[in-house]
Amino acid sequence: MEKNLIFHGSDVPALAEKYGTPLYVMSIDDIRQRCAEIRVSFTDKYENTVAAFACKAFQTLEMIRLIKEEGLSLDIVSGGELYAALKAGFDPAHIGFHGNAKTPRELREALDAGVGTIIVDNFSELELLNRLALERGICQGILLRVTPGVDSHTHLYIATGNLDSKFGFSVPEIKKTVFEQVREMKGVDLKGFHYHVGSQLTENNSHIMATGIMLDLLANLKVRFGYVPRELNCGGGFGIRYADYPERSAVSTFMDPVMDMINSFYRESGDPRPTVIIEPGRWIVGEAGITVYEVSSVKTNAAGRHYAGVNGGLSDNPRTALYDAKYEVAAADKMDQPWDTLTTIAGKCCESGDIIAYDVMLPKMEIGDLLAVYSTGAYNYSMAGNYNRLPRPAVVMIENGEDHLSVRRETYEDMIEREL
């Protein structure tokens, strides 16, 4: 076996040498492959479908341009994400704007930019948006976000579990009041509905149950009001590979049964089927990314736990601390040595919980050795912060064995720049 880790054709220690550590490395080839897979298994397979990238998972100007090249739409959740998307030249008509607490300013920005769809979360937002749209003399395309009441973490259907979600309208709320109210509003055009059942899902039962609930709602609205939606957005949430989940799920695992349900529903009703939209984030970028660290300390504590401390941590990857995420790791400059040492990889932040990975087998690590953590392409860069005044890592993109800097490393000066 080679001594150095090769990631999508690039020598990882060479990247660390060239750009420094900690370093996010993202494979454009992998991202393009995922987009191609989405075409084959969803957008080309089923007519009248759209895939949007949920850019909260990883948003840089280069990534937005990549998504544009790949022909996907974009799901955003803030004025900041909208600003960057527009800066990167993304067509606002293909943007869907999410969020449970959009500010008046964000709604104005979205209306003024011509965002194609605003996914409305609650009634106060609906009233505000309607008023702002009328002030501008426009009729804004919207979806209503529905919380279908599916508990995606345990994969159990809990009939009233949705009462406690901060997202969306409940089904009874829509049936009782909201649908009729929204139809009276002249500043919004109800294109259809949205639902999203959760993230890092490894089984399709939540999607299936939620789709059933949505189709029941649509049947109800058809009978009572003759309403047929033009769009139905099924959200994202498709799971990827981490240490505790061996293989990325296929999009078809989720969407084939969902499309069967939707298609047969419309075949029976005789109405035109709405455009079906998905919005994966993690699935597109998660496995495309690794984080490369340098070991900056080694020790064995009184309890016998052996640690390798690295030059990053929860500031660049809060997911272990937040979600108990499990990562696969590699000794990027010692791949040829026996992986015989049980090691816990500690981040450098002043928090006991700042651990990147507990109890992983690695070669004996020494100061200066390189560690690569896999599947960090989603929700790592985008959730990174400056806790303990750690500068955020650089992002390097690799394609066909070539590498280029996409986001430069943050400096100490950057971190104090806004202080007056």
How far from the centroid of its chain's Cα atoms is residue 380's Cα?
Answer: 10
* 96 counts as binding ligand LLP under rule CB under 6 A: no
Could you give the string, one character per residue 32-71, with x where binding to ligand LLP holds by CB under 6 A and - elsewhere?
A: ----------------------x--x--------------
Single out the residue of 236, 274, 363, 377 in contact with ligand LLP (rule: CB under 6 A): 236
Of the ranges 19-27, 59-67, 276-284, 403-411, which one interacts with ligand LLP (CB under 6 A)?
A: 276-284
**How much of the chain is in helix, strand and coil states, percent to nearest 5?**
35, 25, 40
Nearest to ligand LLP of 94, 319 (CB atom): 319
Could you give the string, one character per residue 322-361, with x where binding to ligand LLP holds by CB under 6 A and - elsewhere?
A: -x--------------------------------------
* Annotated catalytic residue 350: yes
Number of neighbours of residue 31 by Cβ within 10 angstroms:
24
- The secondary structure of 100-143 as a DSSP string is SS--HHHHHHHHHHT-SEEEE-SHHHHHHHHHHHHHTT--EEEE
Minimum distance from residue 333 beta carbon to ligand LLP (Å): 28
- Give the tokens for residue 373: 């953590």
Of the ranges 157-165, 234-242, 343-351, 404-412, which one interacts with ligand LLP (CB under 6 A)?
A: 234-242
* 168 counts as binding ligand LLP under rule CB under 6 A: no
Minimum distance from residue 361 beta carbon to ligand LLP (Å): 25
Instruction: Tell me phi and psi for residue 39, to 5 degrees.
Output: -65, -50
Fill in the amino acid letter for 344: T
Of the ranges 59-67, 202-210, 274-282, 364-372, which one interacts with ligand LLP (CB under 6 A)?
A: 274-282
- Give the tokens for residue 211: 């789709």
Single out the residue of 149, 229, 237, 289 in contact with ligand LLP (rule: CB under 6 A): 237
Could you give the string, one character per residue 281-320, with x where binding to ligand LLP holds by CB under 6 A and - elsewhere?
A: xxx-----------------------------------x-
Of the ranges 250-258, 278-286, 305-313, 367-375, which one interacts with ligand LLP (CB under 6 A)?
A: 278-286
* 280 counts as binding ligand LLP under rule CB under 6 A: yes
- Give the tokens for residue 270: 């005789």
Nearest to 293 by CA among 259, 264, 330, 327: 330
Residues 176-205 binding ligand LLP (CB under 6 A) are 196, 199-200
Minimum distance from residue 223 beta carbon to ligand LLP (Å): 28
* 94 counts as binding ligand LLP under rule CB under 6 A: no
Nearest to ligand LLP of 79, 280 (CB atom): 280
Q: What is the 3-state secondary structure (H, E, C) of 133-172?
A: HHHCCCCEEEEEEEECCEECCCCEECCCHHHHCCCCEEHH
Of the ranges 154-162, 202-210, 235-243, 306-314, which one interacts with ligand LLP (CB under 6 A)?
A: 235-243
Nearest to ligand LLP of 197, 370 (CB atom): 197
Nearest to ligand LLP of 13, 377 (CB atom): 377
Count of residues of this chain found to bind ligand LLP when the rule CB under 6 A is applied: 19
SS3 state at 244:
coil
Minimum distance from residue 281 beta carbon to ligand LLP (Å): 3
Query: What is the rounded distance in angstroms from the CA atom of residue 195 to the CA atom of residue 168?
Result: 8
Nearest to ligand LLP of 239, 363 (CB atom): 239
How far from the centroid of its chain's Cα atoms is residue 226's Cα?
Answer: 35
Q: Would you say 165 and 171 are in contact if contact means Cβ atoms under 8 Å apart?
A: no
Single out the residue of 279, 294, 316, 369 in contact with ligand LLP (rule: CB under 6 A): 279
Q: Would you say 175 and 220 are in contact if contact means Cβ atoms under 8 Å apart?
A: yes
Nearest to 342 by CA among 329, 357, 326, 360: 360
Exposure string for 175-205, b = 16+ CB within 10 A, e = fewer: beebbeebeebebbebbbbbbbbbbbbbebe
Single out the residue of 75, 121, 369, 399 in contact with ligand LLP (rule: CB under 6 A): 75
Which of 35, 139, 349, 350 does the annotation list as catalytic?
Answer: 350
Query: What is the rounded distance in angstroms from the CA atom of residue 266 to the CA atom of residue 254?
Result: 19
Query: What is the rounded distance in angstroms from the CA atom of residue 200 to the CA atom of residue 153?
Result: 9
Q: Please give the residue ranges that form the binding site for ligand LLP (CB under 6 A).
A: 54, 57, 75, 98, 196, 199-200, 235-238, 279-283, 319, 323, 379
Point out the residues that are catalytic: 350
